[in-house]
Chains A and B, each alone.
Chain A
């Protein structure tokens, strides 16, 4: 049974003065999934998500959110979605609770603030002023503000950008719990690991165009490339010879580890077994391909920590 479509984008175009930010993209988001738009800075992620949040008008094409048109029915859409904008910020001198309550009142859901604050573990710090919080805590308040109206669909625009690893992992937990609550989540990110861990489906976007879109598993199977078998430490010639007998692709990485690449899991297992038979002094590791490989294979470059193409 096909899942209900909650976001429907058809040949969407957004032209700024001299930049074509979004170039005829089409995709659907299904109810209850975490859908990610993944790509480097300037790829058109925020523009797309802001069109869906009714913060921008498309130049061409159409977009429907919860069956409503983003241009004509923005007011209705805004009542039913939760949003965490990019570089999320709110009234700095208001406390955590006051900020959440403000949004609750705007949505007309008085009295829901406490529950939302407790859900996100913010009740302890509810009386702290927003500007005194750490980056991670600020984002957590952002999640809370997006969640307080109990929306069916949440748009999270780069929710973990600029956070330290621990705060990022905490954010992931929050996003997983959103899915558990049955919400549909539309996520944008330039962190491949984040997208891989959290999303059900993803679209890779570069220069305003979608390069590929599928479930994470299918994307990796299709574009992820080879499975790597890595040999660390004492690199005896036999190890290299063993790998070279099984694959054409044998090389050394930056840390001088020996790497053999295999097309299938069966071939990789065979190589591991052969290495094991050589003796126990070899420390081996299998590296499955991930979203970063998908991205690299699709685009031909990587995305760094700050979201820039390298």
Chain B
């Protein structure tokens, strides 16, 4: 067993001096992180664009109410508000600007303020009249005749007034959206809730139920936060299934393994040295990815004990698969071919690179049969979500997977009859 250490160092040096090894294990993942993190990581894309055309003008200036509505829509932070000039004919404008893709236009018609005020006045009058009628009926015994006739006078006066304002039409705003715009329902929902709150305020009501919204995470999750554990997991997987499998196959072909097998080095020590080397590689990759995330994307996540444990399990699991492939398949080309055939689909189907919710249902089902899914999902849960409960399923799946494959690796590795 003491031979494990020198062999481990020999493997590590060999790996460090291999340009392709270092490229595919370190630089390639870092490049992908930089590319994807930059594409999906910008804060701009989080806002939805909303064009607003305000036609409710009072001597060329927006009325106070319409102005307030736009201010509120802008202040909630979900929209990137763009104002369209009142002189533009929106339907022609859309036709004339084919690049005006996924248009969402909110039109505030002329008379919006007037109608809104009239309508809210009518509602307030109804409420007041109702209140008076209710008082008269319920408390008639306690109210003097003079007071009662005064209240009736008031009611009559209010009803006459209402007769004047109620003729006004319903105040309406118009939201135009593109049929293919998947964000349209979201936009509609937000505008709707803003309008409701607005209505409520106008009739002087107070919010009875309030949604107090609070993020479950302490910090807003950026794209890079999401990708980081996925990349770490995916490349630990490829290092084992593609990298180690090919290296072992090459060592077997060129006689290095025969050279080692004829020394007192045992098969088990050889396998342990390889597993430890892959674990070290996995930790180094994690460190580099976190450092890049830290410097470039301001991602502040550090793996704790359980994250490191899960990374170790993942490294053991996938390098064992690599050892099995490298020993079972005869030639190097076939080994790397099979490695790629397993590794690449797993990388993309497992959702390591994007949330699996984005994939069709049947692909999501497939993802859950892949060990890589449990690896990156568990890692994300510990590292990014900092979930208080451990991802037991991930530990269980990877634990069983590594146990099975390490035994298989010991079984299929030939130390005789090479």
Q: Do A and B come from one complex?
A: yes
Question: Chain A nearest CB: distance from B235 CB in Å?
Answer: 21
Q: Which residues of A contact B3 (CB under 8 A)?
A: 105-106
Q: Which residues of A contact B5 (CB under 8 A)?
A: 105
**Inter-subunit contact A85/B259 (CB<8 Å):** yes
**Inter-subunit contact B255/A94 (CB<8 Å):** no
- Give the residue of A54, A56, A88, A101 whose beta carbon is less than 8 angstroms from that of B259: A88
**Inter-subunit contact B262/A53 (CB<8 Å):** yes
**Inter-subunit contact A106/B265 (CB<8 Å):** yes
For A89-115 the 0/1 string (1 means CB < 8 A from B) is: 111111000100111011110000000
User: For the complex, what is the distance from the CA of A102 to the CA of B417, rounded to whole Å?
Assistant: 23
Q: Which residues of A contact B416 (CB under 8 A)?
A: 54-57
Question: Chain A nearest CB: distance from B399 CB in Å?
Answer: 31
Given A91-B256, A93-B13, also A107-B263 (CB < 8 A): yes
Q: Which residues of A contact B17 (CB under 8 A)?
A: 93-94, 129
User: For the complex, what is the distance from the CA of A56 to the CA of B261, rounded to whole Å?
Assistant: 11
Q: Which residue of A lies closest to B258 (CB)?
A: A85
- Give the residue of A78, A88, A94 whose beta carbon is less than 8 angstroms from that of B10: A94
B6 within 8 A of A: yes
B418 within 8 A of A: yes
**Inter-subunit contact A106/B259 (CB<8 Å):** no
User: For the complex, what is the distance from the CA of A192 to the CA of B10, rounded to whole Å?
Assistant: 38
Given A57-B417, A105-B6, also A89-B14 (CB < 8 A): no
A145 within 8 A of B: yes
Interface size class of chain A, counting residues whose CB lies under 8 Å from the partner chain: 20 to 34
A243 within 8 A of B: no
**Inter-subunit contact B262/A85 (CB<8 Å):** yes
**Inter-subunit contact B261/A55 (CB<8 Å):** yes
Q: Which residues of B contact A102 (CB under 8 A)?
A: 6-7, 10
Q: Which residue of A lies closest to B414 (CB)?
A: A55
B18 within 8 A of A: yes
A79 within 8 A of B: yes
Q: Which residues of A contact B263 (CB under 8 A)?
A: 78, 83, 103, 106-107
A288 within 8 A of B: no
**Inter-subunit contact A55/B14 (CB<8 Å):** no
For B118-132 the 0/1 string (1 means CB < 8 A from A) is: 000000000000000
- What number of residue pairs across chains A and B have CB atoms under 8 A from each other? 74
B59 within 8 A of A: no
Given A103-B263, A106-B6, A108-B2, also A55-B418 (CB < 8 A): yes
Which of B10, B261, B262 is most buried by chain A, counting CB atoms within 10 A of its CB? B262
Q: Which residues of A contact B13 (CB under 8 A)?
A: 91, 93-94, 98
A75 within 8 A of B: yes
B304 within 8 A of A: no
**Inter-subunit contact B264/A107 (CB<8 Å):** yes
For A274-305 the 0/1 string (1 means CB < 8 A from B) is: 00000000000000000000000000000000
Question: Chain B nearest CB: distance from A22 CB in Å?
Answer: 14
Q: Which residue of A lies closest to B5 (CB)?
A: A105
Q: Which residue of B lies closest to A53 (CB)?
A: B262
B215 within 8 A of A: no
User: For the complex, what is the distance from the CA of A55 to the CA of B257, rounded to whole Å?
Assistant: 11
Q: Which residues of A contact B2 (CB under 8 A)?
A: 108
- Give the residue of B18, B256, B264, B417 whose beta carbon is less than 8 angstroms from that of A56: B417
Question: Chain A nearest CB: distance from B153 CB in Å?
Answer: 104
**Inter-subunit contact A79/B18 (CB<8 Å):** no
Q: Which residues of A contact B256 (CB under 8 A)?
A: 89-92
B254 within 8 A of A: yes
Q: Which residue of A lies closest to B18 (CB)?
A: A93
Q: Which residues of B contact A60 (CB under 8 A)?
A: none
Q: Which residue of A lies closest to B253 (CB)?
A: A89
**Inter-subunit contact A55/B264 (CB<8 Å):** no
Which of B7, B18, B254, B264 is most buried by chain A, counting CB atoms within 10 A of its CB? B264
A256 within 8 A of B: no
Q: Which residue of B lies closest to A102 (CB)?
A: B10
**Inter-subunit contact B6/A85 (CB<8 Å):** no
User: For the complex, what is the distance from the CA of A92 to the CA of B13, rounded to whole Å?
Assistant: 11
Q: Which residues of B contact A94 (CB under 8 A)?
A: 10, 13-14, 17
Q: Which residues of A contact B265 (CB under 8 A)?
A: 106
Q: Which residues of A contact B18 (CB under 8 A)?
A: 93
Question: Chain B nearest CB: distance from A59 CB in Å?
Answer: 11
CB contacts under 8 Å to A, within B33-49, are: none
A87 within 8 A of B: yes
Question: Chain A nearest CB: distance from B389 CB in Å?
Answer: 45
Q: Which residues of B contact A92 (CB under 8 A)?
A: 14, 254, 256
Q: Which residue of B lies closest to A75 (CB)?
A: B264
**Inter-subunit contact A79/B255 (CB<8 Å):** no
**Inter-subunit contact A55/B262 (CB<8 Å):** yes
Question: Chain A nearest CB: distance from B21 CB in Å?
Answer: 9
User: For the complex, what is the distance from the CA of A86 to the CA of B418, rounded to whole Å?
Assistant: 12
Q: Which residues of A contact B260 (CB under 8 A)?
A: 106
Given A55-B418, A98-B13, A105-B3, also A145-B259 (CB < 8 A): yes
Question: Chain B nearest CB: distance from A80 CB in Å?
Answer: 9
Question: Chain B nearest CB: distance from A19 CB in Å?
Answer: 14
Q: Which residues of B contact A90 (CB under 8 A)?
A: 256, 259
**Inter-subunit contact A87/B255 (CB<8 Å):** yes
Q: Which residues of B contact A55 (CB under 8 A)?
A: 258, 261-262, 416-418
CB contacts under 8 Å to B, within A18-47, are: none
Q: Which residues of A contact B10 (CB under 8 A)?
A: 91, 94, 98, 102
Question: Chain A nearest CB: distance from B174 CB in Å?
Answer: 70
Q: Which residues of A contact B7 (CB under 8 A)?
A: 102, 106
Q: Which residues of A contact B14 (CB under 8 A)?
A: 91-94
User: For the complex, what is the distance from the CA of A101 to the CA of B13, rounded to whole Å?
Assistant: 13
Which of B6, B259, B265 is most buried by chain A, counting CB atoms within 10 A of its CB? B259
CB contacts under 8 Å to B, within A229-272, are: none
Q: Which residues of B contact A129 (CB under 8 A)?
A: 17
User: For the complex, what is the distance from the CA of A102 to the CA of B18, rounded to whole Å?
Assistant: 18
- Top 8 nearest A-B pairs (CB, nearest first) are A105-B6, A89-B255, A93-B17, A83-B262, A89-B254, A78-B264, A85-B258, A106-B3
Given A85-B259, A86-B255, 6 more A-B residue pairs with CB atoms under 8 Å apart are A54-B262, A57-B417, A91-B13, A92-B14, A93-B17, A107-B263
- 16 pairs, CB–CB < 8 Å, chain A vs chain B: A53-B262, A83-B262, A85-B258, A85-B262, A89-B259, A92-B14, A92-B254, A92-B256, A93-B13, A94-B13, A101-B6, A102-B10, A105-B3, A106-B3, A106-B263, A107-B263
